[in-house]
Amino acid sequence: MHKYILRRVLLLIPVMLGVSFVVFTIMFFTPGDPAKIMLGERAPAEEVALLRTQMGLDDPFHIQFFNFVKNAVQGDLGRSLVTKRPVAAEIWSRFPATLQLSAAAVLIAILMGIPIGIISATKQYSAFDMISMVIALLGVSMPNFWQGMMMILLFSITFRVLPSSGYGTLGHLIMPAATIGTSAAAVITRMTRSSMLEVVRQDYIRTARAKGLSERVVINRHALKNALIPIVTVIGLQFGSLLGGAVLTESIFSWPGVGRFMVDAIRTKDYPSVQGGVLMLALTFSIVNLAVDILYAYIDPRIKAQYK
Amino acid sequence: MNAGTRLGVVALSLLVMAALVATGCAKKEVGPSKGQNVDTLVVAMGADARSLDPHATNDQPSARVMKLVYNRLMYQTEDLKIENDLVESYNAVSSTVFEFKLRPNVKFHNGETLSSNDVKFTFERMIANKAPAAFLVAALDKVEVIDALNFRMILKYPFGPFVTHLAHTATSIVNEKAVTAGGADYGRNPVGTGPFKFVEWKAGDSITLAAYDAYHLGAPKAKTIRFRFIPEDANRAIALETGEADIVYDVGPNDYKNLDAIPEIDAKRIAGLTTFYMGFNMAKKPFDDVRVRRAINLALDVDTATRVAFEGFAVPAKGPLAPTVQFADTSLPGYGYDPAKAKQLLAEAGYANGFKTSIWTNNNPIRVKFAEIFQEQLRQVGIECAIEIMEFAPYLDRTALGEHDMFMLGWVAVTGDADYGMYSLFHSTQFGDAGNRTFYKNPKVDELLDKGRVSVNPEDRRAAYAEAQKLVYEDAPWVFLAFREDLNATRNYVKGFVPHAAGHHNLYKVYNE
């Protein structure tokens, strides 16, 4: 198992190198001169040229890329062209907000999605199943920005119970987390239901029932455990992508997260921030995936056995 | 792992998640809804500040905060008059030498007393750091300290708007000791002499300032000011409606109409300093012919287009300078809408059958709307016109290189002075990136703009700019489009708020009743 984890961690290195290469290449060939952005539109050409040399922007592509990777490994993602602060610090200062929102959303999604999915599967074609599947379909189809606006309209303007935007209190968290959480819940519900439906038809479930086990034990201990692998995968994917910032939801609720930071950076052509942001995104996504893979082993002893 | 342990792992994971959620949620609600927190003024604006170091940035959100944290040597009032701020008196010894006397006993937020050395340090640092707004003091040669309160500013050449530029937020006076102590992070720990001192900056969320009780003009009325960053126009308006914000900057035209209808809200519209225009590339045929340029001015129904594009929140432009700008000539008649005369002029210029051309614009919806309206109106006088929409950065690069035919842009005369509003746009030394993207060249206009720039006598300046505006109007390097209004709104319990045309509003005497 340790060997497995170690191998997965080592695999992160080529993944990150690949991501850096792609991001760096895209930004390298995007029009716009970072030196000019830093000095402003009115800067004389000589000063721009001087800064280009100082920043190493005149070096050939491979040297610039090598320097970028070298610095990134040491935790130096460069300085933002806009705020002039280290990119790592800029991202780090926004990460708690993103983490908080993602965790809350996933928590809502799990607490709603799994139970509803299980009940739907065990009571297939019942009224509960029909209704929850329709709601889940709505949840998947409803665009987040629209749902967010509607919630603001309802809870902030009409009932005046929740703040319409901002960050800092539990009240501020409820609507953005619910917006993302419900759409994630819909995905998890559907996945839980279909995965469970497949498992409950297996022979060993019939055997468990034949042994006279109570329905609760059959479902929770025998069926759910075997149905959990795809569900955990979906949860991991959702959590991973949320950590990259739920851009639209963050904008609607003025949530000061990484997603909004990245969008602003793209808009202002803040190259180091975009590069650093994407790199950080890739890293968190890989780590969450790794965590999911490790979790598999705990859920399914067969997987663990392969690595002994 | 047995079932119990597994359950434990799951429970633990959920608990960790819950704990993550709870982080940062422990704080008490500080929302200032009506009447609850009268001492805190909550101001919503569209973007986060970049830095509170006046020599690191020149963007609007930062300027709005710096306006309150710092003072300048001079002060620009809401009707754009220049008064003394940190300066008690000054006099022009010659056209290039100014002597200033500072107010005594002005204290920085760190307890240091303001002295001439701080002024010298400020301007030397501004130039040495190549501050984005260093062009404002390009004329400055050096600052000579006479004594603690007296200093001399010596210019390289006479520069009429110099004293006006000393009122710009980018020339805010900093304290050497504080800047040194702050190091690379000074922009996040600013120290000024202003009515509010810096307290906290939550990146992407808010900046909090507290009243500086030892302010030299007396403590401000509000105890705390919280700038909140709400990027969506509609959400800023909602925040005002629900009482989460007391003042909202840059209200969208649609929201303005809604807010204006609410009795608890005071919506305020004022004339701004921004000019919108469509420029011709005069280095290219057929735009080198003044008859063609005038014809296009006549062929376009600018009044209607402005009303549509700005939803009524702009006035049609008659000349290059917004009426709020100092020395603007408001007597220019404007070209008016006369397609018949336009056709006649085109025929005289040898384009009786029109020609093919294009309008370039960046992906700014208002500019795109103008371009679409003009495309149709130009078609009616025989001009076939394509619209090309592009990203802002390549748009600026390519128009600077002169690859365009016609293009849509705006210009903010941030200092409120005609020099800022005209020099970069119409002087022949400013071709391309510097601002003159029409490649307009008129030696007489050059001479007048130079005269307006170096003269220190306001009446001479007024005369020079009046003539320059008349010539520019006649030469028609632009279609003069519109002067945008600035829209802001407050709750009606907010007292003392007077918006400033430059967009950075003074909140010193503003409070919640």
DSSP secondary structure string for all residues of A215-249: HHHIIIIIIHHHHHHHHHHHHHHHHHHHHT--HHH
Q: Which residues of A touch B14 (CB under 8 A)?
A: 107, 110
**pLDDT, average across residues A234-246:** 83
* B430 has a pLDDT exceeding 60: yes
- Alpha-carbon distance of A1 to A308, in angstroms, equals 6
**Model confidence pLDDT, tens digit, residues B481-490:** 999 999 999 9
CATH code of the domain made up of B67-183:
3.90.76.10
Report the pLDDT value the prediction gives residue A229, as an integer from 0 to 100: 87
Residue A106 lies in a domain: yes
For the segment(s) B272-485, the CATH number from 3.20.20.70, 3.40.50.2300, 3.30.70.330, 3.10.105.10 is 3.10.105.10
CA angle A210, A211, A215 (to 5 degrees): 75
Concatenate the DSSP letters of all residues of A94-153 into one string. HHHHHHHHHHHHHHHHHHHHHHHHHHHHHTTTSHHHHHHHHHHHHHHHS-HHHHHHHHII
Picking from A42-56, A139-153, B187-201, which range would have the lowest pLDDT averaged per residue?
A42-56
Q: What is the ipTM of this complex?
A: 0.83
Do residue A35 and residue A180 come from a single domain?
no
User: Is B21 touching A (CB cutoff 8 A)?
Assistant: yes
The predicted structure's pLDDT at residue A307? 66
Second CATH level (architecture) for the domain B3-51+185-270+490-512? 3-Layer(aba) Sandwich (3.40)
What pLDDT is attached to residue B253? Answer: 86
CA distance B255 to chain A (A): 14
Q: Is there a domain that residue A148 lies in?
A: yes
Per-residue pLDDT band at B297 (split at 50, 70, 90): very high
Distance between CA atoms of residues B74 and B84, nearest Å:
5
Q: Does A32 touch chain B (CB under 8 A)?
A: yes
Q: What is the pLDDT of residue B435?
A: 85
Give pLDDT, residue B27: 36
Question: Which residues on adjacent β-strands are paired with residue B490?
Answer: B247, B266
Nearest to B55 by CA among B116, B130, B136: B130
Residues 154-213 of B with CB under 8 A from A: 185, 187-188, 202-206
Q: What is the pLDDT of residue B17?
A: 56
pLDDT tens per residue across span B207-254: 999 999 999 999 999 999 999 999 888 999 999 999 999 999 999 888
B25, A171 Cβ separation under 8 angstroms:
no
Mean pLDDT, chain B, integer: 90
Please tell me the predicted confidence (pLDDT) of residue A286: 87
Across the interface, which of A96, A163, A269 has its CB nearest the CB of B31? A163
Tell me the pLDDT tens digit for each residue of B434-448. Answer: 789 999 999 999 999
| CA B343 – CA A213 distance, rounded (Å) | 93
Q: What does the alpha-carbon distance between residue B293 and residue B306 come to, in Å, rounded to a whole number?
A: 19
A67 pLDDT band, cuts 50/70/90, is confident
pLDDT at B33: 46
Could you say which residues from 108 to 137 on chain A have a Cβ atom under 8 Å away from some Cβ of chain B?
110
Q: Which of residues 112-131 of B touch A (CB under 8 A)?
A: 130
For chain A, what is the radius of gyration of the CA atoms? 24
Is residue B276 packed enough to be buried (19+ CB in 10 Å), middle (13-18) or exposed (0-12)?
A: buried
Q: What is the pLDDT of residue B509?
A: 94
| pLDDT score recorded for residue B32 | 42
How far does the CA of residue A44 sit from the closest CA of chain B (Å)? 9
Q: Are residues A129 and A39 in the same domain?
A: no
State whether A21 and A144 are in the same domain: no
Give buried/exposed letters for B191-204 (b at 16+ CB in 10 A, else e).
bbbbbbbbeebbbb
pLDDT digits (tens, 9 = 90+) for A125-167: 888 889 988 888 888 888 888 899 999 999 998 888 999 999 9
Contacts A50 to B, Cβ<8 Å: none
Question: Are residue A32 and residue A181 in the same domain, yes or no?
Answer: no
Residue A11 neighbours by CB under 8 Å, 6+ apart:
none
Q: Is residue A284 part of a domain?
A: no
Given CB atoms, is B394 within the 8 Å cutoff of chain A? yes
Q: Does A34 touch chain B (CB under 8 A)?
A: no
Domain membership of residue A20 (yes or no) is yes
Q: Is residue B4 less than 8 Å (CB to CB) from chain A?
A: no
Residue A289 lies in a domain: no
| Mean per-residue pLDDT of chain A | 86
Residue A290 in any domain: the answer is: no
| Residues in CB range of B235: below 8 A, 6 or more apart | A152, A164, A165, A252, A253, A254
A84 closest CB neighbour out of B9, B48, B56: B56
Chain B environment of A43 (Cβ under 8 Å): 130
**Is-contact B392 B252, C-beta < 8 A?**
no
- Which residues of chain A are within 8 Å of residue B126 when distances are taken between CB atoms? none
Specify the pairing of strand B40-45 against strand B224-229. parallel
- Residue A53, chain B, CB below 8 Å: the answer is no
Contact B187 A32 (CB under 8 A): no
Predicted pLDDT of residue B24: 42
Q: Count how many domains chain A has.
A: 2
CB contact under 8 A, A169 and B397: no
Q: Which of A31-40, A48-57, A69-78, A96-105 has the highest mean pLDDT?
A: A96-105
Name the amino acid, one letter, at B6.
R
CATH code for the domain in which residue A249 is found? 1.10.3720.10
Instruction: Locate B230 and state its tokens.
Output: 């709400």
Q: Which domain covers residue A104, as residue numbers? A: 94-267
Record the tokens describing residue B502, joined without a space.
Answer: 């430059």
pLDDT of B1 strictly over 50: no
Instruction: Please give the share of chain A, as a percent, with pLDDT higher than 90.
Output: 22
Q: Does B27 touch chain A (CB under 8 A)?
A: yes
User: Tokens at residue B129, please?
Assistant: 């750091």
Together in a domain, A100 and A215: yes
pLDDT tens-digit map of B36-49? 578 999 999 988 89
Residue A245 pLDDT: 64
Q: Does B58 touch chain A (CB under 8 A)?
A: yes
Taking the CA of residue B339 and the nearest CA in chain A, the distance in Å comes to 37
A163 at the B interface (CB within 8 A)? yes
- Encode pLDDT of B403-423 as tens digits: 999 999 988 888 899 999 999
Q: Does residue A240 surpass a pLDDT of 90?
A: no
